[in-house]
């Protein structure tokens, strides 16, 4: 790390630390407890999700070579060859172990088919990117199945896998700590996206292979050993994937340049933005709510806090990324924060104006959900190039999909079953605001990045 990066990191953290923070997830301790309020039926719930949301499209920062996908598939086939097919009770008498191996093999074939489709002549570059990532899941489940089978007779496998785990984690940490941020004027947004994805994936690997999450020893069952070996394989696959993608990215830069200073300056401006934001601290939550010029009952407080929590999560994520010196992840959290804080202001304004209220009919819930879908479609028209903005759009669409799924689950009950859709109404209200403000939030972030 350069001296400049070190100084900026300390300045960022000093500013962020002064803000305090709300819990980063969940609703424990939030100021509502009243369970009364409007209720609906499962038949009502069935009328909420009437039109499809825009599909989730994850942006691709760089297209891999077809050979990289092929190498991943070869590794999958090599691993899977170690599992007898068919697998019968004579070969593996223990039914639990036998089913675990079969499940691993079935999962491998599913992920392998997804990856293999990316090698077909009709596949696009984006297909290849997603197919390459699918080889990681295929390798994990294949290794899990073959290691479970091998562990039945191989008492030494535990130590072999433990040694491999240490090696793979070390490689992932080295990659993460030695990122060289490269970009060019015409691919700056793609560069930010690539390094955010790279750092997020490698951070996930180091966490999964850390002592708190990976605990395989002499007393572990063969299924546990297989699972642990699968996690190691996923880590090895991830390091290989990002070795390849980082190299492809650098090869495609017309005039490669070190963009560390650019990312640093954009993060500094983003940290100042966070510092200036008025967010409630856990200790003064009631005082903050009292400043909202609206008559908030428990349900409307819940709607407001559903908009607050994502902002707090992004603020915490930005602080963590800066502390870890991960500039790509920090920029991603900066976009998230800009979107979520603007959405919070939008929701608060709606509560104060009376345009957001507790729904009395299911039509009101459906209307908010439809408005969220329309806003998502509008945001997609505004954001087209692969970037952190389109990544945040995909994440927000995924949240919409999850909320729709919960409504569908409520609708699956008997028609007259009483259900509460207040939580889902709060989610649709939040998501609508996030979609509506996203184009302006992305524009503000890009201004910081380009002026850095």
DSSP codes, 330-391: HHHHHHHHHHHHHHHHHHHHHHHHTSS---SSHHHHHHHHHHHHHHHHHHHHH--SSSHHHH
Phi, psi of 299 (to 5 degrees): -70, -40
Beta carbons within 8 Å of 123's beta carbon, 6+ residues apart: 117, 131
Asked if residue 104 lies in contact with residue 145, where contact means CB atoms within 8 angstroms, the answer is yes
Beta carbons within 8 Å of 294's beta carbon, 6+ residues apart: 300, 351, 352, 354
Token couple for 46: 């069935």
Q: Torsion over CA of 253, 255, 261 and 262, rounded to 10 degrees?
A: -70
Q: What is the pLDDT of residue 288?
A: 64
How wide is the angle at C-alpha 403 spanned by C-alphas 398 and 404, nearest 5°? 95
Q: From CA 12, how far away is CA 249, in angstroms rounded?
A: 29
326 upstream amide cis, omega within 30 of 0: no
Secondary structure letter of residue 283 according to DSSP: G
Among 178, 181, 175, smallest CA distance to 240 is for 175
Q: What is the pLDDT of residue 39?
A: 87
Beta carbons within 8 Å of 353's beta carbon, 6+ residues apart: none
Q: From CA 320, how far away is CA 308, in angstroms rounded?
A: 19
pLDDT mean by block of 10 residues, the chain; 452 residues: 42 40 35 60 96 95 96 97 93 96 97 96 95 98 98 94 97 96 94 98 97 90 97 98 97 93 96 86 62 74 87 93 96 98 93 89 97 97 96 98 97 94 95 98 95 74
Q: What is the pLDDT of residue 299?
A: 84
| SS3 category, 49 | coil
Distances (CA, A) of 158 to 83, 95, 163, 449: 18, 22, 9, 48
SS3 of the chain: helix, strand, coil, percent, to 5: 70, 0, 30
253-268 b/e (C-beta count within 10 Å ≥ 16 → b): beebeebbebbbbbbb
Distance of alpha carbon 142 from the chain centroid? 24
Q: What is the pLDDT of residue 253?
A: 93
The helix-helix angle for 298-323 and 260-276 (nearest 10°) equals 150
Radius of gyration (C-alpha) of the chain in whole angstroms: 24
Q: From CA 339, how far away is CA 394, in angstroms rounded?
A: 13
| SS3 category, 53 | coil
Q: What is the pLDDT of residue 293?
A: 67
Token couple for 300: 């409307």
Secondary structure letter of residue 326 according to DSSP: -
Q: What is the pLDDT of residue 3?
A: 42
165-195 b/e (C-beta count within 10 Å ≥ 16 → b): beebbebbbebbeebebbbeeebbbbbbbbb
Q: What is the pLDDT of residue 451?
A: 81
Q: What is the pLDDT of residue 303?
A: 84
Beta carbons within 8 Å of 106's beta carbon, 6+ residues apart: none
Q: From CA 189, how far away is CA 449, in angstroms rounded?
A: 9
Determine how β-strand 257-258 pairs with β-strand 182-183: antiparallel
| SS3 category, 419 | strand
pTM, two decimals, is: 0.89
Q: What is the pLDDT of residue 287?
A: 62
Q: What is the pLDDT of residue 202?
A: 98
């Amino acid at each position: 790390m350069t001296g400049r990066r070190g100084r900026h990191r300390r300045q960022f953290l000093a500013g962020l630390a002064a803000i305090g923070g709300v819990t980063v997830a969940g609703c424990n301790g939030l100021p509502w407890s009243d369970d009364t309020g409007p209720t609906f039926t499962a038949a009502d719930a069935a009328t909420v999700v009437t039109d499809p949301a825009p599909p989730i499209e994850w942006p691709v920062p760089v297209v891999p070579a077809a050979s990289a996908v092929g190498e991943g598939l070869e590794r999958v086939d090599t691993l899977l060859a170690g599992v007898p097919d068919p697998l019968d009770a004579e070969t593996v008498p223990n039914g639990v172990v036998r089913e675990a191996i079969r499940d691993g093999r079935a999962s491998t074939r599913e992920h392998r088919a997804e990856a293999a489709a990316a090698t077909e002549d009709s596949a696009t570059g984006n297909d290849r990117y997603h197919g390459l990532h699918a080889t990681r899941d295929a390798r994990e489940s294949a290794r899990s199945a073959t290691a479970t089978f091998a562990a039945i007779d191989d008492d030494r496998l535990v130590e072999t896998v433990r040694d491999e785990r240490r090696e793979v984690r070390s490689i992932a940490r080295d990659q993460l700590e030695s990122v060289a941020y490269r970009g060019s004027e015409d691919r700056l947004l793609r560069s930010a996206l690539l390094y955010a994805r790279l750092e997020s994936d490698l951070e996930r690997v180091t966490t999964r292979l850390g002592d708190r999450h990976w605990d395989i020893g002499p007393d572990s069952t063969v299924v546990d050993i297989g699972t642990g070996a699968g996690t190691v394989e996923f880590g090895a696959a991830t390091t290989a994937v990002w070795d390849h993608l980082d190299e492809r990215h650098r090869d495609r830069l017309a005039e490669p340049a070190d963009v560390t200073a650019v990312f640093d300056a954009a993060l500094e401006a983003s940290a100042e933005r966070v510092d200036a934001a008025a967010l409630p601290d856990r200790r003064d939550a009631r005082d903050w709510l009292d400043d909202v010029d609206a008559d908030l009952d428990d349900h409307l407080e819940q709607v407001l806090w559903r908009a607050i929590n994502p902002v707090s999560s992004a603020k915490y994520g930005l602080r963590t990324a800066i502390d870890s010196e991960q500039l790509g992840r920090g920029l991603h959290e900066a976009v998230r924060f800009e979107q979520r804080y603007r959405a919070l202001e939008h929701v608060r304004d709606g509560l104060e104006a009376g345009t957001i209220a507790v729904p009395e009919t299911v039509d009101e819930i459906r209307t908010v959900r439809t408005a969220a879908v329309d806003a998502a479609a509008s945001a997609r028209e505004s954001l087209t190039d692969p970037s952190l903005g389109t990544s945040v759009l995909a994440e927000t669409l995924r949240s919409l999909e999850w909320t729709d799924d919960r409504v569908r689950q409520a609708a699956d009950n008997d028609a007259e079953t009483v259900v509460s859709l207040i939580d889902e109404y709060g989610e649709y209200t939040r998501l609508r605001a996030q979609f509506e403000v996203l184009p302006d939030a992305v524009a503000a972030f890009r201004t910081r990045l380009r002026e850095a």
